């Protein structure tokens, strides 16, 4: 059994200060995809991951304290690809891929459009470019697991108040349509494959006691190539892991 986790840690140094390494030891994932690391490896002691038995690969943003992705893996990948080869995205540290013998795992941090029109336009452009990039990539890497913070709720079930958020970035009709169309290119939302129930979220605002009230959004996903569906064994979230405003999303497969 291979256990893969995606986790937007909202700052790896902040998460470590909240005993994140104890969570890592207890959950014991084989592969961890991180988003919003908000640090370069030189800014903290990465030896803790060596001691826990992980190879670790970091792709921070050029801007200090912003964005950035990483992959931790107990097995050393055959190859690690840093970025997408598109400068405006790679400067923000949004994509890293690890290739193993029979599959590839991506950690992706998709842009948020919540700060205004300029970033929303950037996000919409990203969605088109990401689709094109993955369509090309999957010709070479046919078994893909795309883990990360997508900053989109796909369905009304994925957000606590779909009516009042109908015009909010992250739940806009064009974003949700993109998600449906992207899945239709050959990917499965692993969490929904096992969990049809409502009120299951992966992010909560720090405002208005939202987490305690479970007023959340499900914006973190482990998407799996349809040709890997037969390998799916379980998928779940860990809302009680509180190192971040997000929580971990776990995927278990026979790989």
**Strand 55-59 versus strand 95-99 pairing type:** unpaired
pLDDT digits (tens, 9 = 90+) for 207-238: 989 999 999 999 999 999 999 999 999 999 99
What 3-state DSSP class applies to 158? helix
Token pair in block for residue 33: 């995809």
Whether the Cβ atoms of residue 60 and residue 68 lie closer than 8 Å to each other: yes
pLDDT digits (tens, 9 = 90+) for 1-58: 999 999 999 999 999 999 999 999 999 999 999 999 999 999 999 999 999 999 999 9
What is residue 238's predicted lDDT score, i.e. its pLDDT? 98
Cβ atoms within 10 Å of 19's Cβ, excluding its own? 11
Give the DSSP letter of residue 202: S
Q: Residue 235 belongs to what domain range?
A: 2-253
Does the predicted model carry a pTM greater than 0.95? Answer: yes
Distances (CA, A) of 157 to 14, 54, 89, 233, 235: 30, 35, 30, 22, 17
∠238-239-241 over CA atoms, to 5°? 75
What is residue 205's predicted lDDT score, i.e. its pLDDT? 95
What is residue 210's predicted lDDT score, i.e. its pLDDT? 96
Q: How far apart are CA 246 and CA 23, in angstroms?
A: 14
Rounded to the nearest integer, the mean pLDDT of the chain is 97
CATH code assigned at 163: 3.60.10.10
Give percent of the chain above pLDDT 90: 98
The total domain count for the chain is 1
104 DSSP β-pair partners: 99, 144
Q: What residues are labeled active site?
A: 149
Q: How far apart are CA 29 and CA 14, in angstroms?
A: 20
Cα atoms in the 13 Å half-sphere on the side-chain side of 220 = 31
pLDDT band at residue 105 using 50, 70 and 90 as cut-offs: very high
**Across residues 196-204, what is the average pLDDT?**
97
Residue 114 phi, psi (nearest 5) = -75, -15
∠74-78-81 over CA atoms, to 5°? 100
What is residue 83's predicted lDDT score, i.e. its pLDDT? 98
69 DSSP β-pair partners: 35, 59
Q: How far apart are CA 29 and CA 3, in angstroms?
A: 5
Q: How far apart are CA 165 and CA 156, in angstroms?
A: 10
Q: How far apart are CA 122 and CA 220, in angstroms?
A: 19
Least Cα distance to 249 among 179, 200, 211 occurs for 200
Residue 126 phi, psi (nearest 5) = -55, -45
């Amino acid at each position: 059994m291979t256990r893969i986790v995606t986790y937007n840690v909202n700052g790896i140094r902040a998460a470590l200060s909240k005993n994140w390494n104890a969570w890592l030891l207890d959950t014991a994932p084989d592969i961890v995809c991180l988003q919003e690391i908000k640090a370069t490896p030189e800014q903290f002691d990465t030896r803790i991951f060596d001691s826990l038995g992980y190879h670790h690969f970091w792709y921070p943003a050029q801007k200090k304290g912003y964005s950035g992705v990483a992959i931790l893996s107990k097995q050393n990948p055959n190859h690690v690809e840093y970025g997408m080869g598109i400068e405006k995205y790679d400067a923000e540290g949004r994509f890293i891929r690890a290739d193993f013998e029979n599959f590839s795992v991506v950690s992706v941090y998709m842009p948020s459009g919540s700060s205004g029109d300029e970033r929303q336009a950037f996000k919409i452009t990203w969605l088109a470019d990401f689709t094109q990039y993955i369509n090309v990539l999957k010709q070479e890497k046919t078994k893909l697991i795309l883990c990360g913070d997508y900053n989109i709720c796909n369905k009304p079930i994925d957000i606590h108040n779909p009516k009042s958020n109908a015009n909010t970035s992250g739940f806009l009709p064009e974003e949700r349509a993109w998600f449906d169309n992207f899945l239709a290119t050959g990917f499965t939302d692993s969490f929904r494959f096992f969990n049809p129930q409502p009120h299951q979220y992966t992010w909560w605002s720090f405002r208005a006691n939202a987490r305690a009230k479970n007023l959340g959004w499900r914006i973190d996903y482990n998407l799996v190539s349809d040709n890997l569906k037969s390998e799916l064994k379980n998928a779940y979230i860990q809302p009680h892991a509180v190192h971040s405003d997000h929580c971990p999303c776990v995927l278990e497969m026979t790989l």
